[in-house]
Chain A
Amino acid sequence: MITRIMSLGRRGCDLLEALGRAGIFVAQSAVGMPSREGLLLWVRQMHFVGVLSLAIVLVSGLFIGMVLALQGYTLLVDFGAEQALGQMVALSLLRELAPVVAALLFAGRAGSALTAEIGLMKATEQLSSMEMIGVDPLRRVVAPRLWAGFVSLPLLTIGFSVVGIYGGYLVGVEWLGVFEGSYWGNMQSSVEFVGDIGNGMIKSLVFAVVVTWIAVFQGYDLIPTSEGISRATTRTVVYSSLAVLGLDFVLTAIMFGGLA
């Protein structure tokens, strides 16, 4: 019994220690004035982290919007309320699905790649050798990736929403025959820019910080062997998915649950 409690305590200490390291890590790397050189590195990472995730995010967004319209239509048509389809599709995408699903896809596509890339650089001593050349790898390797992640995910989320709403339009209006005017009109009268789009963007920004942070830290902190890299990659996806879903509940409760 005592040993159980002790092992629980040890885990708690390990967890706190890891959180502390992760905090110092992100503070040291993300804070600081960007240089021209840093800007170029950031653009490069924007390409790897953002542009290359675009395809999967947009395709998923299209399908999710189409499915939402299909499911929503069959439900709403029973109440004779199929004109509300646009509002339903837009609100569920903007408030919930776009931030969350884009963050999950981002964790799987870009997050795992970031972990593996940084982990490989660590395992092949590239980070150490950078340090010995007198270049801080936190600034040179980690910071551009962090900032690229912070900026990319909100942009991807916007893309996801737009494509999803268009997908809903395709299915709802073009296929199922909902009146086009009521699709857009109901949407416009119920969606608020600050309350819905703004809060969705805040969610997405929070997820971006969390997912990128987890991915980059897992890569930087892993045990530099091939097994360590594969484990850290898995951990990145698992931890960031859990963090996204958990935080989503908290944020939703604060934003839309009347807790504020």
Chain B
Amino acid sequence: MAYSDKVIDHYSNPRNVGTLDKAKTNVGTGLVGAPECGDVMRLQIEVDENQVITDAKFKTFGCGSAIASSSLATEWLKGKTVDEALAIDNMDIVEELALPPVKIHCSVLAEDAIKSAINDYRVKNGLPALELASSHH
């Protein structure tokens, strides 16, 4: 199976690889997937007082599509408000990266990682956690 040019680009030049200080209250961390499944994504967001995501970082253990999905997600997150970030759908990632059907789970994981990071941020700041839509699974 051949990878799309965009997947190869994100894999070869991943954006925003790194780690934010998870102890900070304005940093939300999402860790999703499992080593047994061959995919683990950690996605982090840093949010300012206006609910705008000023920074996003990821680290991913997984195939090229998983790495590309999380790299793309961090690119999209920066500059968005938390509410706007919640609207990112896994199918947007599928479309942008031209993921084949067998790789759709990579985009689902990236969406889960975004939501999980936002929830971590919300809980840290006294907001109730949002229910994660697991309809894709």
Same assembly: no
